[in-house]
Amino acid sequence: MKKHGHKKRKFENYAYILDFLEYGHTDDNIPLHQRKAIAQAFGEEQFVLMEMALKDNKTVELAERVYIGKGKRNKIDHIIKMLTYDELTPTAKTELFYVIKEAIMKNEKRFINFINKCGPITTRLHSLQLLPGIGKTVMWKIIEERELKPFESFEDIEKRVHRDLLNSIAKRIEEELKEPQKYYLFVKWKAYQEQ
């Protein structure tokens, strides 16, 4: 059996709807009455972009959180494929930043833990500096504050550091999904794809 260097692949349990295409893609060659409804979505844990087939007569709303894990699914029939950022519809691209923020807030503890524990990537670059809007001064302020007392929430960070790290993390995740990066903080599956 061949062993891989990285952890066992994790699958998404929930996803956020980025776009709902009631009659599939407009450029499909299938007659309109035979087309199936599809949705483009963003995975809550691994941040996978995907296209999904809906069950017959089911609809979804933009930014709706849907169950896509194993077992009984209410609205989603199956995952068709993973997508790249460029394959997203214009609506999906517009919606992406907002659903990223939703996913972060749903897992706030995970991201606060990252802020409390992340360290340097190289001798000259700290993980925090990869977040948009975080320069050396703010980075040191965050490090000093978390040493005094670990952060408890984004609100706590904003009170003590006067920075909106929720938006910074969401922007970073969006950047990691949009184009190749030298370092990936959050979208780990893209790092594996590019190896």
Query: In whole angstroms, what is the distance from residue 20 CA to residue 88 CA?
Result: 11
At residue 3, the pLDDT reads 40
Query: What are the tens digits of pLDDT across the range 119-151?
Result: 999 999 999 999 999 999 999 999 999 999 999
Q: Is 99 exposed, middle or buried (0-12, 13-18, 19+ CB in 10 A)?
A: buried
Query: What are the tens digits of pLDDT across the range 56-93?
Result: 989 999 999 999 999 899 999 999 999 999 999 999 99
Confidence of residue 171 (pLDDT cuts 50, 70, 90): very high
Nearest one of 50, 90, 86, 56 to 73, comparing CA atoms: 56
What pTM does this model have? 0.89
